[in-house]
Amino acid sequence: MTAIAPRDEDFSTTLSVDQTPEEVFVAITNVRGWWSENIEGNTDALNDEFTYRHKDIHQCQIRVTALIPEKRVSWLVVDNHFNFTEDKSEWKGTEILFDISQNRDKTEVRFTHVGLVPEYECFDVCSNSWDFYLHTSLRGLIRTGQGLPNQKEQGDE
């Protein structure tokens, strides 16, 4: 699998924490702990595939394409469905990267959603959502062991 090269227009953000690269890597791979409790499938081994679902608004299937402890996690969006965009599959074929590095006494996570670009109808909603999940929920999970993922849904909401 060849990685997609990030471009300047791809959504990207960086967060910095006091915890170790190992702690950050473990938190990122605990997808239910920071993104959503509505994850079906495994998320912590190479070639695992999992499904993310948020009500009837968004559903996507993701394959884990790289797991390099303390360095990188990458996912490929295999399939996607939005109920609020004209092109329901906007994320399909995009790649989600978490690059972990040490910067003095801090650990940095450089998050890039390769292919999530301003031309996408979902760009504003998606980039704002990633900001929350990364800077609030993932950061909380890394720092305190408690993130703010989407709660488990009851039935078909």
Digit-coded pLDDT (tens) for 77-111: 999 999 999 998 999 999 999 999 999 999 999 99
Residue type, 23: E
Tell me the C-alpha distance between 48 and 41, whole Å.
8
Domains of the chain by start residue, with CATH: 14-144 (3.30.530.20)
Quote the pLDDT of residue 153.
Answer: 78
CA-based max dimension of the chain: 47
Q: Judge residue 123's burial from the number of C-beta atoms within 10 Å of its C-beta, 0-12 exposed, 13-18 middle, 19 or more buried.
A: middle
Q: What is the pLDDT of residues 108-127, one digit of tens each?
A: 999 999 999 999 999 999 99
| Residue 111: Cβ within 10 Å count | 21
The rounded distance, in Å, linking the Cα atoms of 93 and 119 is: 16
Q: Are strands 106-114 and 95-103 parallel, antiparallel or unpaired?
A: antiparallel
Would you state the structure tokens that stand for residue 100, as one six-digit string? 């972990």
Stretch 12-31: mean pLDDT, rounded?
Answer: 97
User: pLDDT band for position 136 (50/70/90)?
Assistant: very high
